[in-house]
Amino acid sequence: MSDYTFIDGYTKTPGSNLTFEFSPVTLQPQQTLVFWYNNKNRSLQEFNDYYGVSLTESQVVNVSGFQGFANGGDRGVIIKNKQGVEIARASYLSGDTAEDQGVQYKLADSGIDEAILQILAAPTPGSVTSGQVPSSPVILPDMPANLPPVVVHTPVTSGNAANDLVITADIKDPESTVTDSTYANESVTATVFYKLPSDAAYKTVSMVKTSDSGYTGIIPERASRSKTGASRLHPCKNRTAPSKSAKRRSTKRSPKETEIRYASGSRRLTAVLKPRWPLMRTVCARSSKPA
């Protein structure tokens, strides 16, 4: 659920909204989770005993970052997606709740405002009542394909370990000019991954946007220096075969990202320019013997 933001909504004073804070958790289709504002540090067993349920740790999410809900009303919850767009709202007024009585909502027929099924309802933590959800799963239409960034990268033709290695690329979102595109407002980010033969894992450098579509990443000179001296770099053939994992990620609704990987063999530096979507371009730079 890290792709979504949950907000404690004040209907009369929107500027007072506070964001829920909780540990990463996954909500599967047709699954329920209990968000618990446990300001008195009660145990889960105490919660279960009070409400007459038998919830497990995996069914309860401890929430902080706001001050709980009040029975005075004019409050609610707002859910935003990763792009900051509101996708669901549920609110209540004074008189809709009381001690140990809440509001039950059901799926809205249209729009993002959840419909009220019952006010002053008995709590049912961990379960839904008849009428709250459809009798059969809702089949959503397929989302349009999230097109990969278009990447133009000039291979590194030479380099010296005594100098920083500057990586540049022209990266454009093809949907930024498409009218009413679902993904038109997604940001494009790029990261350089690099390592030496002796390194177990890649190091990273974020690319900086230098123009409308220009990105630059700098590998520090000390990062490409071998123990025996400097290296000269020469380009090798481009490849365009995407990995299966890249294909699987191609339909995810998330901001577009581009990775440029710089690995190395024996005093050899290889560069891979790889968007997270199926498009892939590879650039290799092999080193000659040390000068």
Q: Average pLDDT for residues 251-272, to the nearest whole number?
A: 45
In-domain check, residue 141: no
Whether residues 236 and 182 fall in one domain: yes
In-domain check, residue 129: no
Measure the CA–CA gap between 248 and 216, rounded to whole angstroms.
Answer: 28
Whether residues 164 and 249 fall in one domain: yes
Whether residues 16 and 117 fall in one domain: yes
pLDDT at position 257 = 58
Determine which of 38-42, 55-59, 119-123, 217-221 has the lowest per-residue pLDDT on average. 217-221
What percentage of the chain exceeds 90 in pLDDT?
Answer: 39
In-domain check, residue 225: yes
Closest to 188 measured CA to CA, from 156, 212, 222, 159: 212
CA distances in angstroms from 252 to 61, 81, 179, listed in the order given: 25, 13, 20
**pTM score, whole prediction:** 0.54
Whether residues 106 and 154 fall in one domain: no
Write down the mean pLDDT value for the chain: 77
Judged on CB neighbours under 10 Å (0-12, 13-18, 19+), 58 is exposed
Q: How far is CA 133 from the centre of its chain?
A: 27
In-domain check, residue 137: no
Question: pLDDT tens, 99-144?
Answer: 999 999 998 888 999 999 999 999 999 999 989 998 888 887 787 7
Whether residues 164 and 86 fall in one domain: no
Q: How many CB atoms lie within 10 A of CB 260?
A: 28
DSSP of 23-54:
------TT---EEE--TT---HHHHHHHHT--
pLDDT at position 228 = 41
Judged on CB neighbours under 10 Å (0-12, 13-18, 19+), 31 is exposed
Whether residues 80 and 188 fall in one domain: no
Measure the CA–CA gap between 289 and 264, rounded to whole angstroms.
Answer: 14
Higher pLDDT, 254 or 154: 154
Whether residues 209 and 163 fall in one domain: yes
Q: Which two tokens stand for residue 232?
A: 């000269």
Q: Is the pLDDT of residue 289 over 90?
A: no
Whether residues 108 and 204 fall in one domain: no
Query: Nearest 5°: phi and psi at 163?
Result: -120, 155
Show the domain range for 212: 150-287
How many structural domains does the chain have? 2
Question: pLDDT tens, 197-206?
Answer: 888 888 999 9
DSSP of 95-113:
TS-BTTBEEEEE--SSSSB
Whether residues 104 and 157 fall in one domain: no
Whether residues 262 and 201 fall in one domain: yes
Whether residues 174 and 101 fall in one domain: no
Q: Is the pLDDT of residue 264 over 60?
A: no
Name the pLDDT band for 258 (thresholds 50, 70, 90).
low
Q: Average pLDDT for residues 25-52, to the nearest whole number?
A: 95
Name the pLDDT band for 254 (thresholds 50, 70, 90).
very low
pLDDT at position 95 = 92
Whether residues 158 and 283 fall in one domain: yes
Determine which of 62-71, 139-148, 243-252 has the lowest per-residue pLDDT on average. 243-252
In-domain check, residue 130: no
Name the pLDDT band for 15 (thresholds 50, 70, 90).
low
In-domain check, residue 77: yes
Measure the CA–CA gap between 279 and 235, rounded to whole angstroms.
Answer: 20
